[in-house]
Structure 1
Amino acid sequence: MKSKSIEEFYQDIVRDSDIKPSSLLPSGIQKEIGHFNVFNIQELFEKMKQKPVMPYDRRAYFKISLIQGKNRVEYADRVIDIEENALLFATPKIPYHYVPQDTKQAGHFCVFTTEFLTKDKSGIDLDKLPIFQTDGYPVFQLTKEETIAIDLIFKKIHDEINSDYVYKYDLIRNYVAELIHFGQKLQPVTALYSKHNSAARVSSLFAELLERQFPIESPHQRLELKSAKDFATRLSIHVNHLNKVLKENTGKTTTELISDRLIHEAKILLKQTDWNISEIAYSLGFEELAHFSNFFKKQTALTPLSFRV
């Protein structure tokens, strides 16, 4: 899964709308200090022609959101339903899927790159913060008083980013740090984490990632995900958990499911293309032709050449 860049983030926002990406960019920020921007959710929704849906993806940027309204956040092994006010922290380490559940959306969110909030600029080491770890709970339920306090910080960020103050981004870093520390002091909303369908979600997302790699349309195209560990890494879960879930839901191990799909595609390529067997082996992720031949014969009792004939 390729991480979505900050440029793709803006493309997603303006898709199917009359908004120009350039109109959303902040003023006075240079590339050498990284990227930062802040948005009012209600205003953004009003400009968009259809309800935005953030697909299950990994992002190449951080995001902090004050969410006011019904929403659902889906991770590989858990689903979080937000009924009212919540503070959400998103990290490049964890792919997720964000789905508004109604049109009554309010709040704020900011996005920033690692370069914007480096330790030497802010004193914060993002990689070591508990709130951004892969095993953490990144959504926090807010009381009315906490919502007001967070809303005030975001309003300060909006005011500052629109100001002419020369050092405004230094000040904004302090506000972002305040948001981070505010979140770390809150208790995670573990009660909102639905485990009921987590196994089904892991199985579904595994199947989606597997199928997303096919069909192979060129001998220069090559599979990126070839092992159980590759898929577990993409889903940000432990490989043992992935194996357990798939075995319980399908009766097969992760490796068996991958092998079945590889054999299916190998048969198609052998019968329907004129690629040589080395090219087919390469496109399916095998480093050596002998490895592919042994794999194919083990699965089918035939060599690739015999099957092609």
Structure 2
Amino acid sequence: MKNEPRVSEVGTNDLKLKGFKVYEINENISKIPTYNRRDFYKICIYTSKSLLHYADRGIETDGTVLFFGNPYIPYSWETISSSYQGYACVFTEEFLKVNDRSESLHESPLFKIGGTPIFSLSADQKLFIDSLFLKMIAEQDTDYVFKDDLIRNYINLIIHESMKMQPSVNFFKHKNASSRITSLFLELLERQFPIENKTQPLVLKTPQDYAQSLAVHVNHLNRSVKEITGKPTTAHITERIIGEAKLLLQHTDWSIADIGYSLGFEYPSYFNNYFKRLTGTIPKSLRV
């Protein structure tokens, strides 16, 4: 099995200096990637039979797919087929945002946390997206003074073409107050993650904490969330904390006590009991 290359093999220094890097993926680049949170966004078109490890999920792909990765969720590719081909573009948010009025990338439907930002492409779609990557590859080493603007346009064109592929349900407008409150709650919940500092514990841990931050009564928040999602507020918080705990246990060298503290548990025994009650196993079992 092969793995999609990490960006360090294709010019991390260029990324830091220019804010972007475009490259081809092929059998000549086969280093095993580091599975961690990156500091850049990524768009990748990939043709193969493979397994995408995305957060704590595995997504099987066969054929050509287009993937959008953000810095807040760990991911890696495991190629199953003997041959593979594709292109990738990595860039910082600062590169793509030309002014303060531009929408933050993590608010985009394609990069939004909690989604599954991967699309199967038809032959015609593949041909068109490939052509945009080839234009970026040809452009990035030129001396054209406005090449950054041109590459930004290509990236945005890929983004907009992909948004047209999105089911319309992903672009719904809020129909009532419950929908709006629920959306604000889910967005606020995602903003608490990822946990990147083991010395700063999670601040918002209960429905009451979120209700206070949103300036609504906790009963109103609970009713709205249950009405729109079918699950209580506590369930969403619990699932997100457990999900983050699993990622930290699997992909950091933090002690279990530090992980528990970062997630708001003052004592390791509290974290162990909480984790076992909700998963049926102890945190140590996730350590390789």
Per the shorter chain, which TM-score range? 0.5 to 0.7
Structure-2 residue corresponding to 1:213: 254
Q: String of CA shifts for 1:19-57, please: whole Å, max 9, x gaps.
A: xx5xx865xx984xx511101112xx31x4xx3333431
Runs (5+) with no aligned partner, structure 2: 168-242, 266-272
Percent identity (aligned): 30
**For structure 1, which runs of at least 5 residues remain unmatched after alignment?**
1-7, 15-20, 189-200, 216-222, 232-242, 262-309
SS in 2 for 1:83: strand
Number of corresponding residues: 201
CA contact (8 A) 1:72 1:99 kept: yes
- Indicate the structure (1 or 2) with the bigger Cα radius of gyration: 1
Residue type of the partner of 1:106? Q
Distance 1:81 1:246, change over 3 A: farther
Assess, with a 3 A threshold, how the Cα gap between structure 1 residues 163 and 85 changes in structure 2: closer, same or farther.
Answer: same
Matches within 5 A, 1:74-89: 74-89=53-68
Shift of 1:162: 2.9
1:163 aligns with 2:154: no
Residue in 1 aligned with 2:83?
104
Within the candidate set 119, 122, 135, 1:140 is matched to 119
The DSSP-based 3-state class of the residue aligned with 1:155 is: helix
Cα deviation for residue 99 of structure 1 reads 1.5
Verify the 8 A CA contact 2:106 2:113 in the aligned structure 1: no
Residues 117 and 202 (structure 1), Cα distance of their counterparts in 2 relative to 1, 3 Å cut: closer
C-alpha deviation, 1:113, in angstroms: 1.0
Shift of 1:230: 6.6
Q: What residue number does 2:24 align with?
A: 40
Aligned to 2:280: 250
Query: How far off is 1:225 after superposition?
Result: 2.2
CA RMSD in angstroms comes to 3.8
Residue by residue, what CA displacement relative to the aligned partner does 1:95-138 show, whole Å, maximum 9, x if unpaired?
12321223411110011112211141994531321111111121
Mapping for residues 85-96 of structure 1, pairs under 5 Å: 85-96=64-75
Q: 1:159-196 CA deviation, whole Å, 9 max, x = no partner?
A: 211322111111100000111111222137xxxxxxxx
Could you say if the C-alpha distance between residues 60 and 246 of structure 1 is closer, same or farther in structure 2, counting changes exceeding 3 Å? farther
Give TM-score, length-normalised by structure 2.
0.58
Q: Does 1:229 align with 2:263?
A: yes
Query: Residue 149 of structure 1: SS of its match in structure 2?
Result: helix
Aligned partners of 1:87 and 1:142 also within 8 Å: yes
